Copies of this chain bind each other. A is one copy, B any other.
Amino acid sequence: MTNPRTGYPDGYLIYLIKQIDSGLRRPFDELISGHGISTAGYTALTVLQSRPGMTSSELARRTFVRAQTMAETVTSLTQAGYVRREKDPAHGLQILLYITDLGLERVAELAPEVAHLESDLVGALGEGEPAELIRALRACRDALAALSRDERPSV
Contact = CB atoms under 8 A, between A and B. Distances in A.
A121 B13 contact: yes
Interface of A: 1, 3, 5-28, 43, 46, 50, 63-65, 111-112, 114-115, 117-125, 129-134, 136-145, 147-148, 151
Nearest to A142: B124
| Interface of chain A, main secondary structure | helix
Q: How many copies does the complex hold?
A: 2
Nearest to A133: B136
Contacts of A43: 15, 18
A134 B114 CA distance: 23
Cβ-closest 5 pairs across A and B: A23-B144, A10-B115, A21-B21, A23-B64, A11-B114
Contacts of A8: 131, 134
A1 B50 CA distance: 12
